[in-house]
Amino acid sequence: MPTPPTIEDIRAAAERIKPYCLRTPLLESPHLNEIAGTRILVKPEPLQRTGSFKFRGAFNTISQLGREAKTGGVVAYSSGNHAQGVAAAAKILGLPAVIIMPEDAPAIKIANTRYYGAEVITYHRLNDDREALGERISEERGAVLIRPYDDPRIIAGQGTLGLEIAEDTQASGIKLDAVVSPAGGGGLISGTALAIRSELPQTLVYSAEPEGFDDTARSLASGSRQDNDMEARSICDALLAPSPGELTFAMNRELLEGGLVVSDDEAREAMRQAFLRLKLVVEPGGAVALAAVLSGKLDCQGKTVSVVCSGGNVDPQTYAEILAG
Amino acid sequence: MPTPPTIEDIRAAAERIKPYCLRTPLLESPHLNEIAGTRILVKPEPLQRTGSFKFRGAFNTISQLGREAKTGGVVAYSSGNHAQGVAAAAKILGLPAVIIMPEDAPAIKIANTRYYGAEVITYHRLNDDREALGERISEERGAVLIRPYDDPRIIAGQGTLGLEIAEDTQASGIKLDAVVSPAGGGGLISGTALAIRSELPQTLVYSAEPEGFDDTARSLASGSRQDNDMEARSICDALLAPSPGELTFAMNRELLEGGLVVSDDEAREAMRQAFLRLKLVVEPGGAVALAAVLSGKLDCQGKTVSVVCSGGNVDPQTYAEILAG
């Protein structure tokens, strides 16, 4: 297992990504505060370059590659947001990219990954082994594999989001009680938790996941990594990783207070609320932390909670159907 | 006619609203840049408190009222965004508010105005005279009338948006060639133009309007205030003012380079692009400046243009229909 990143790695990542990343603001709505009975500060990563937080980790990682990537470029497997992050970062850095994506990924994610200049190879989510595919292409082409979460450079990059939350609430004199963030493989939540727990030791951090893919919640409860049932289904296409990462879970076990779980319907309702109250387009997986707080999964009456909306890459037809209810 | 505001009034407004307003960032998308053949920096005011820029001017104005508003509070007439801005500002400042709104305003605008604690009185857009209604209620209740645009305090408040664009592009070392902003009565565009022309004298400012409500464009071309045909129809409910304001047009005649006009279909397409590329919910009237640039109404090949998306208060059903195309 690689060595976990430190808060200094997150600070270095923040400097590295600064010219290319949007420092997303914190959004607030009296309606959302009233529904939750708490003050909610939303970190809106759909506004980030490529429509999700994934660009942070991808750029932090790829910009540190040396000559090993000069010929074969990079390769990644991803349900779609890491794909776009890697493709966009590789384009900025002048490297070729091959991305392995599930054939049932949202069309907008596949189209955008190609738009950023990457070659896309699709696989079947249940029948094919995406990690093996990634490693084979890496060997054949001499491409550097950019893992989606179990890499300290990826985690440090995603952790810049937590660092921004800590800095911006401190600068505004806001006492933050908790941070809730979506968890798939755990890169975002582990990096964010590292930043928050380092900067704001009084602030608790919780993961949020969809039902059926609550591997982080169950792993935190049991103390060891638990798998998801691969027959499970969820509309949260960004959060369907088979189990917590080895490195990310080693961090999360120490850093997280607990894991929250929401239904697909609660995620849909959070998407509608983000539309109505924040004017923010959030994809299903990006909405699970907001869903957890709005549906009362966390007792945060009278507290101040920052909620990460992690991405907004959702097909228009799916979005229109969810708005219609 | 009242005296126009100065850049110093805009600076004072910026200090006044700072604790309550979001300093919206500038968003960029390579897709949008490619469509327009220009670098587009979007100022996303749907993210602003109350979902549009209108809170800026409303708060700047109402926070300067003295004892005259202590008893009767404030009254305003508005198609919906000024309504929400006035209602939210009055609530923060502890004043009662009465808002006169067209009965066919989007349901979300009427509901939000009530949510902020205002009393809503509806009128018929064609049969009733909203200005007379506002003045009658003002007299009856001793409420201070907060005009939607023809007031130097309103214009200075809206102008803070232009000041932010000027400051943020200068801080990033970006040479800005033009700013395009929606125009209804002209409060936003006049304040923004005053800030931009004061801070960035090389930067040109253009208004954008929907077909049938292109009174500012025609007034700029003719040199005097022109009325709209009140039989005209547009989906851009925020931009249906009958003619340019007296004060706003006196400013715009000096400050604007010209007026751009888009069709409702071009506004719809800009809304879809804002969804796809920025993850930003924009209402029809809020999208006309983006529509003007994306549809090539301004020759800005190779230039850098800041585009104001002024609001995002659109009903879910309308939005879903527009996404479906």
State how far residue B311 is from chain A, nearest Cα, in angstroms: 9
* Cα–Cα dist A262/A214, whole Å: 9
Could you tell me which chain B residue has the CA closest to the CA of A92? B30
* Residues of B in Cβ contact (< 8 Å) with A320: 319-321, 323-324
CB-closest option in A46, A116, A272 to B279:
A46
Task: Check CB contact under 8 Å for B279 and A282.
Answer: yes
- Interface contact flag, B279 A312, Cβ < 8 Å: yes
Average pLDDT on A246-271 reads 98
- Chain A CB contacts of B280 under 8 Å are 47, 279-281
| Sheet containing B204-210: order of strands | B39-44, B304-309, B178-182, B204-210, B258-262
CA–CA distance from A294 to each of A285, B51, B316 (Å)?
15, 20, 19
Which chain A residue lies closest to B277 (C-alpha atoms)? A51
- Residue matched to tokens 């594999």: A145
Sign of the CA dihedral B234, B237, B243, B248? negative
Minimal C-alpha gap between A46 and chain B (Å): 6
The mean pLDDT value for A133-155 works out to: 94
Q: Are A92 and A72 in contact (CB under 8 A)?
A: no
The CA-atom distances, in angstroms, between A144 and each of A56, A90, A102, A199, B36 are 18, 11, 20, 33, 35
pLDDT at B185: 96
In chain A, the residue whose alpha carbon lies closest to the alpha carbon of B29 is: A49
Nearest by CB to A320, from B46, B47, B320: name it. Answer: B320
- Give yes or no for residue A253 having a pLDDT over 90: yes
Chain A residues lying within 8 Å of B30, measured CB to CB: 115-116
> Which residues on B lie below 8 Å from A31 (Cβ)?
115
For residue range A70-108, list pLDDT tens digits in order.
789 999 999 899 999 999 999 999 999 999 999 999 999
ipTM: 0.96
Per-residue pLDDT, averaged over A134-159, amounts to 95
Residue of chain B minimizing CA distance to A324? B317
Angle between helices A7-17 and A54-62 (to 10 degrees): 90
A282 contacts in B (CB within 8 Å)? Answer: 279
Strand-pair partners of B208: B182, B260
Dump pLDDT digits (tens) for B14-42: 999 999 999 999 999 999 999 999 999 99
Is B317 in Cβ contact with A320 (below 8 Å)?
Answer: no
Nearest to A31 among B28, B115, B321 (CB): B115
Structure tokens at B190: 């006049």
Residue A267 vs residues A41, A63, A216, A295, B141: alpha-carbon distances, Å: 18, 34, 17, 9, 45
Q: How far does the CA of residue A26 sit from the closest CA of chain B (Å)?
A: 9
Domain B7-52+151-324 shares a fold with domain B55-145: yes
A320·B323 Cβ contact <8 A: yes
Nearest CA in chain B to A23: B25
The pair of three-digit structure tokens given for residue B316, joined into one six-digit string: 């879910």
Whether domain B55-145 has CATH 3.40.50.1100: the reply is yes
Q: Is B51–A279 a contact, with Cβ atoms under 8 angstroms apart?
A: yes
**Chain A: closest CA distance from residue B19 (Å):** 10
Write the residue in B313, B321, B323 that is nearest to A319 by C-beta: B323
- What is the per-residue pLDDT for B131? 86
3-state SS string over A123-150? Answer: ECCCCCCHHHHHHHHHHHHCCEECCCCC
CB A245 within 8 A of CB A149: yes
CA distance B93 to A318: 41
Domain definitions of chain A by residue range? 7-52+151-324, 55-145
Residue A169's pLDDT band, with cuts at 50, 70 and 90, is very high
pTM over 0.90: yes
What residue of A is the nearest CA neighbor of B316? A323
For chain A, give the number of residues: 325
Is B47 within 8 Å of A320 when comparing Cβ atoms? Answer: no
DSSP code, position A151: S
CATH topology of domain B7-52+151-324: Rossmann fold (3.40.50)
Q: Looking at the complex, report in whole angstroms how far the Cα of residue B255 sits from the nearest Cα belonging to chain A.
A: 31
Question: Is A223 buried (19+), middle (13-18) or exposed (0-12) by CB count in 10 A?
Answer: exposed
What pLDDT band is residue A32 in, cutting at 50, 70 and 90? very high
Question: Which residues from chain B sit within 8 angstroms of residue A49, using beta carbons?
Answer: 28
Residue-level pLDDT at A218: 98
| Pair B147, B46: CB distance under 8 Å | no
Q: Residues of B with CB below 8 A from A25's CB?
A: 22-25, 47
> To the nearest whole percent, how much of chain A has pLDDT over 70?
100
Contact A47 B44 (CB under 8 A): yes
Residue B162 structure tokens? 């232009």
Both tokens of A256, joined, read: 């997280």
Can you give the pLDDT at residue A70?
79
Longest dimension (CA), chain A: 56
Position B72: which residue type?
A: G
- Which residues of chain A make contact with B23, given a CB cutoff of 8 A? 25
User: DSSP character for A241?
Assistant: -
Assign B315 a pLDDT band (cuts: 50, 70, 90).
very high
Backbone angle region of B12, left / alpha / beta, with phi > 0 → left and psi within -120 to 50 → alpha: alpha
* For residue B230, pLDDT beyond 90: no
Taking an 8 Å cut-off on Cβ atoms, the answer to whether B320 and A317 are in contact is no
Cβ separation of A275 and B316 shorter than 8 Å?
A: yes
**Distance from C-alpha of A271 to C-alpha of A283, rounded to nearest angstrom:** 7
Give the chain B residue nearest A45 (alpha carbons): B279
Percent pLDDT > 90 in chain B is: 90
Q: How far is CA A273 from the centre of its chain?
A: 20
- Tokens 């990690």, residue located: A131
